[in-house]
Structure 1
Amino acid sequence: MSGRLVLVLPLCLYLTVGSVQSQGSSQDAFIIQYLERRLSQIEERLNECEQKTVSVTQKTYDLSSEIRGYLSTVSFLKSEVRSQVDSVYERVERVERELEYLENKMPAQTDIEMEESLLEQQIEAAELDLQQKKVKIRMENDCRTALSQIKSLKIVKKAGDTYGSWFKDPTEGSEKIYLLSGIRNDTLKEYVSLHSFTERTTTPPVREVRLPSDWQGTGQVVYNGFIYYHKADTPNQILKVDLLNGTMVDSTLVPGAGRLPVYSLNPNTYLDLAVDELGLWVIHADSEYGGNLVITKLDKASLAVEYTWDTQCRSQDAEGAFLICGTLYVVYNTRHGGRSTIQCLYDIHDTIHSDESPVMFFPKRYTSHSSIHYHPGEKQLYAWDDGYQTIYKVETHINDQVTAE
């Protein structure tokens, strides 16, 4: 019995010790797990704090860079403002010196009154001189011819390009015919007569004249052995060339010309020269007057401007114009070609008015003129119609209202 007790006691003691050890091991594991969780949470918070610190540091750096840029701009603006202030200060000083100089040099009131009186006298003299020129232009050659109608049509020949001009020198006694083909060229053809021009084989042969520079458009004229034309690549320069040797003898600039085509249906012509009983003229369109036509009287010898008139005739839908005794007749058409009509005129004598004159029709034929030139001696129009050289006979009458002023 005692031996069995001895065996049982160690066994019980072993079981008790094992149970205690088992309970201690379970508590340690729980504590370790708790500590591990807390450490993991602390690590996460530390990482988050580090990331926020990096972000704040970057933002602080960016902000400091931006502030440095603003400071640099402010510094530049400050120096620029200082420079401008110095410049304004210098200008103010200069103005003060100039005012002081002007005050010392300013003439007395009596001198100013004398200068104003002299200026008024000069203006009156200039106005009187212009009026005298105007009267002289109006009454030269006792010109009282006015257009009644376009009577007949004669197609003379077909030669050259679609656009061009041809005419006879209107100088008394001259029979020479001139042909200028194209809107830009430097060579014209001279025929001894209209009969020679119409022949297939001309005898004597046609004479070609080389000009010193190209012409522009179809507004050329020949007058007394000289050709007057718009020089190409210039807005408003007119050349006068001697046809005997092809040399330029004079040139001029037409004020206000060259900004618009003179006729909208002939967009390559900016200056249209014309000859009538009174002499040499140039026609152009001026944008300052709504695109209406302006006529200028030129001295045929010196090309000096004698007088200029602003007309009410529009350039829109116009294809050409000519003058008879100082009266401008403007020819209108349609863009695709039709029956040409004279719908507007301007009389420098102020005796014929456009609103009182009937529309004049060209002979019944569908046409499109690139140039129309009046011959005062023959009372004929030399026209270029799509490459056809055409002559229109005109009927005129005496305008008795033209009297000396």
Structure 2
Amino acid sequence: MAGIVACVLLSLVTMVHSQVQTAFLEYMQSRMGSVEERIAQWHDHSSRYSSELRDFKNQVLKMLENIEKEREAMRNEVESTNVRVDRLEREVDYLETQNPAPPCVEIDEKLTELQIKKKKNEKYEKLTDCSDTVSQVNAMKILKRFGSSAGLWTKDPIGNSERIYVFDGAANDTFFVFPRMKEFTLSTSTRKAARIKLPFPWIGTGHIVYGGYLYYVRQTEEFQVIKFNLANKTVDDSAVLPIEDQVPVYGLSKHNYIDIVADEEGLWVIYATRENEKNICLAKLDSKNLGIEQMWDTPCPIENAESAFVVCGTLYVVYNTKLPSRSRIQCIFDVSGTISSENVPVVYFPKRYGSHSSMKYNPKDRQIYAWDDGYQIIYKLSMKPKDELH
């Protein structure tokens, strides 16, 4: 009987030991599987980090290589600039020996102010016998849509050139030159146009091409008129006009501070100042030396003005509304005093797209080249003698 009990106890012990051993093995296998899974994840992460580190190293090496190339190019450019500066200094020294500097002369500021005031509001002595005034807009032709909402296009009224000059935007440094009107009208791109890059960017849409030169406005600390030679692509002259505290000249075209225009008499400057901020001012510009010959305060208000032009010495200011309606000539100023706004009926332009950002009168063909919300338009004008208005 004791042997049987011992045998049963031994069997029970063996069975319990076997179950414990099985559970322990399962536990160890589970832990080993978890460890192997973690080792596999670590291996994957390590491989990815190694790959990213290798890519980053290659990027850094490439950047260092590019920096080294740029440093070498900059060093060469600096050396070239030093050579040019040395040559320029030698040339300046030579010129100074050939042309000694004139003695210094102190300018009396009060005398300068008196000279400018003397030029203001004097009677203008005309250079031509032109005595016509605008009676109505006879016809309108929409050529195409080119560029942004603001811009300018024009022709040179001096000479026989048929070139079309196109200035896209109220601030840029590159303009287009088309050989003829046909290429500008038919071309769907600028393939047939020459691109000319200016040494300084322009501001506004107050430029003019006149006698082979481009006259445009550059903004630095002050507004500067640049005379650019279109033949040799160089700046022939520049000047800061004797105008202080300028404000936008047109209430509906805030980008224009100086508008340079041409008529039968030559070049004019349309501007406005804080001193006389309610009305537009006019000045006669010498195309040769950019000097101001005469200046006038006009009765034409800045408010709701969108553009202006000059015909036969008479300023025509075009007005609109903030919500564009029909543009109209509502105020004129004749520098010779022959006519006034009271003598002239309001002249309307056909309603088109929006508001004119520029209107350039060409005294040669007596047409206005207008830019209306990106559309290039030609207005034909009807004229009649000024003495018929009385």
TM-score category, normalised to shorter length: 0.5 to 0.7
Give the conservation status (yes or no) of the 8 Å contact 2:260–2:269: yes
Structure 1 194/327 Cα, relative in aligned 2: closer, same or farther at 3 Å?
A: same
Question: Superposition pairs for residues 219-368 of structure 1, below 5 Å?
Answer: 219-256=206-243, 259-368=246-355
Match of 2:196 in 1: 209
C-alpha distance in structure 2 between counterparts of 1:142 and 1:401, whole Å: 16
**CA offsets per residue over residues 290-327 of structure 1, 9 Å max, x none?**
43111111110111111001101011110000000110
Which stretches in structure 2 are left out of the alignment for 5+ residues?
Answer: 1-110
Give the conservation status (yes or no) of the 8 Å contact 1:340–1:367: no
C-alpha distance in structure 2 between counterparts of 1:210 and 1:245, whole Å: 12
Match of 2:57 in 1: none
C-alpha distance in structure 2 between counterparts of 1:201 and 1:389, whole Å: 14
C-alpha distance in structure 1 between counterparts of 2:196 and 2:122, whole Å: 36
C-alpha distance in structure 2 between counterparts of 1:184 and 1:202, whole Å: 21
Match of 2:135 in 1: 148
C-alpha distance in structure 2 between counterparts of 1:369 and 1:234, whole Å: 28
Give the conservation status (yes or no) of the 8 Å contact 1:257–1:271: no
Structure 1 340/330 Cα, relative in aligned 2: closer, same or farther at 3 Å?
A: same
- Which one is further off, 257-266 or 236-245? 257-266
Match of 2:370 in 1: 383
C-alpha distance in structure 1 between counterparts of 2:190 and 2:370, whole Å: 24
Structure 1 341/257 Cα, relative in aligned 2: closer, same or farther at 3 Å?
A: farther
Which amino acid counterpart does residue 212 of structure 1 have in structure 2?
A: P
Structure 1 292/126 Cα, relative in aligned 2: closer, same or farther at 3 Å?
A: closer
Bigger radius of gyration:
1
Structure 1 142/292 Cα, relative in aligned 2: closer, same or farther at 3 Å?
A: same
Give the conservation status (yes or no) of the 8 Å contact 2:171–2:204: yes
C-alpha distance in structure 1 between counterparts of 2:320 and 2:326, whole Å: 7
Structure 1 258/176 Cα, relative in aligned 2: closer, same or farther at 3 Å?
A: farther
Give the conservation status (yes or no) of the 8 Å contact 2:353–2:372: no
Match of 1:374 in 2: 361
**CA offsets per residue over residues 105-126 of structure 1, 9 Å max, x none?**
xxxxxxxxxxxxxxxxx99x97
Give the conservation status (yes or no) of the 8 Å contact 1:229–1:240: yes
Q: CA deviation at 1:203?
A: 10
Which amino acid counterpart does residue 178 of structure 2 have in structure 1?
A: Y
TM-score, normalising length: structure 2: 0.67
Which amino acid counterpart does residue 184 of structure 1 have in structure 2?
A: A
**CA offsets per residue over residues 333-360 of structure 1, 9 Å max, x none?**
0112111011100000101111232111
C-alpha distance in structure 1 between counterparts of 2:316 and 2:377, whole Å: 18
Which stretches in structure 1 are left out of the alignment for 5+ residues?
Answer: 1-121
Structure number with higher helix proportion: 1
- Which one is further off, 186-195 or 197-206? 197-206
C-alpha distance in structure 2 between counterparts of 1:191 and 1:309, whole Å: 36
Give the conservation status (yes or no) of the 8 Å contact 1:138–1:326: no
**CA offsets per residue over residues 253-298 of structure 1, 9 Å max, x none?**
1222562111011111111010000001110012212431111111
Q: How many residues align?
A: 279
Q: What secondary structure is seen at the aligned counterpart in 1 of 2:125?
A: helix
Give the conservation status (yes or no) of the 8 Å contact 2:247–2:277: no
**CA offsets per residue over residues 180-207 of structure 1, 9 Å max, x none?**
0011111111111111211226899311
**CA offsets per residue over residues 77-128 of structure 1, 9 Å max, x none?**
xxxxxxxxxxxxxxxxxxxxxxxxxxxxxxxxxxxxxxxxxxxxx99x979x
Q: CA deviation at 1:377?
A: 1.2
Which amino acid counterpart does residue 250 of structure 1 have in structure 2?
A: D
C-alpha distance in structure 2 between counterparts of 1:337 and 1:198, whole Å: 26
